[in-house]
Structure 1
């Protein structure tokens, strides 16, 4: 993505800023000394947008010759909170908890219905609620100054729930990669921009009500879905 081409520029700018702050500190500059007297905690509140391919695979042999549904979901959105604790100037740990929603495409459910006898329908309330909890270890490239980029990696567990009468989803977990930047002001507040890649797989079951409620020979069909969403978030935070 183009966004990843911007990150090296941000990192370089942060290194230059950090060097200027360090030089100013040796010269007794007041504003540079501000950044050296900070707390070990950051609290962040972010809104996010996600994109995912989410194409079902691994269908049973009984439906191997039938047309499979395409991507179940393309986009989603939500909010998350995060608390970051600094062990050193550069090394930190972040714990985050989010809640979001993904809308299942009606066209995908129509194709999924053809796996049965075609008499079912997707109904309403075909949203999937996701609640990812993640822990990452971060390296902050330039811990002083106004621009502070970081990279991180860790693990996540994502609870998935839907009220849909057409599908059922299971919870998943896996690694998560992170890259972002904090823009620090002088009043203990900050603006933050963050990109995460969640590696997430789970089971999706297409229910009998979608496949053919009038045919007793048709039962639920289970598949595997690689969600692995790319999550782009922005928000604000506070230093403690």
Structure 2
């Protein structure tokens, strides 16, 4: 029964999107490539004074327009290595993979620019954790993600993209299996990139 409901929902969404694409003459798909700077909040409630480094890396996002105003965006990147510090001294590292899925509202009544806002979910997977003996952290994090951005069209297909996100990423920290507090990475992500609307 559940499978039939899911299939019906997928077919209904496909029908609506297909009708929109046919009426507008636009493809519902957009792909962007961005350069992203991660600026961590580094809020730590442990006695260790933990923090991680800020860094710049690349990401790809795929956007699917459900209508001229509503779209869903999936943000993807490769696992990113972060250095971990305790009171400013390097003590280890970990990798994190933080895909986000956001529902966006695009403002279409402005000439020359196309601003949007979005909200959704971030899931972060922590791997390759290398911390001092006896110190460990959670393997994953779920949190909200919020977004505001701007597309500047260059022609019918290409656009320049400016984007800023706030993602809530955090992990409990353990010493000998006992929780000693939480590291709140909670970064702001500043991005600039190039988009292509198919």
Q: State the TM-score, normalizing by the size of structure 1.
A: 0.63
**Aligned residue for 1:39?**
27
Matched, 1:190 2:159: yes
**Aligned residue for 1:138?**
104
TM-aligned CA distance change 1:143 to 1:39, over 3 Å: farther
TM-aligned CA distance change 1:143 to 1:162, over 3 Å: farther
TM-aligned CA distance change 1:104 to 1:165, over 3 Å: closer
Matches within 5 A, 1:87-126: 87-99=66-78, 100-105=80-85, 107-109=87-89, 122=91, 126=92
**Aligned residue for 1:169?**
137
Contact 1:146 1:185 in 2 (8 A): no
Deviations 1:139-181 (CA, angstroms, capped at 9, x unpaired) = 1112675311100001111112234242533210111100001
Contact 1:77 1:101 in 2 (8 A): no
Shift of 1:53: 2.7
**Aligned residue for 1:236?**
194
TM-aligned CA distance change 1:45 to 1:181, over 3 Å: same
CA–CA distance in 2 between the matches of 1:49 and 1:75?
Answer: 7
RMSD: 2.3
Higher strand share: 2
Look at both structures and tell me which one has the larger radius of gyration over its CA atoms. Answer: 1
Equivalent pairs counted in the alignment come to 170
Q: Runs of 5+ in structure 2 lacking a partner?
A: 1-23
Q: Runs of 5+ in structure 1 lacking a partner?
A: 1-35, 60-67, 111-121, 207-218
Contact 1:55 1:69 in 2 (8 A): no
Alignment partner of 1:228: what SS?
A: coil
Shift of 1:95: 1.1
CA–CA distance in 2 between the matches of 1:165 and 1:102?
Answer: 12
Deviations 1:33-78 (CA, angstroms, capped at 9, x unpaired) = xxx6432110011121111232332x5xxxxxxxx23241241332
Q: State the TM-score, normalizing by the size of structure 2.
A: 0.75
Contact 2:48 2:86 in 1 (8 A): no
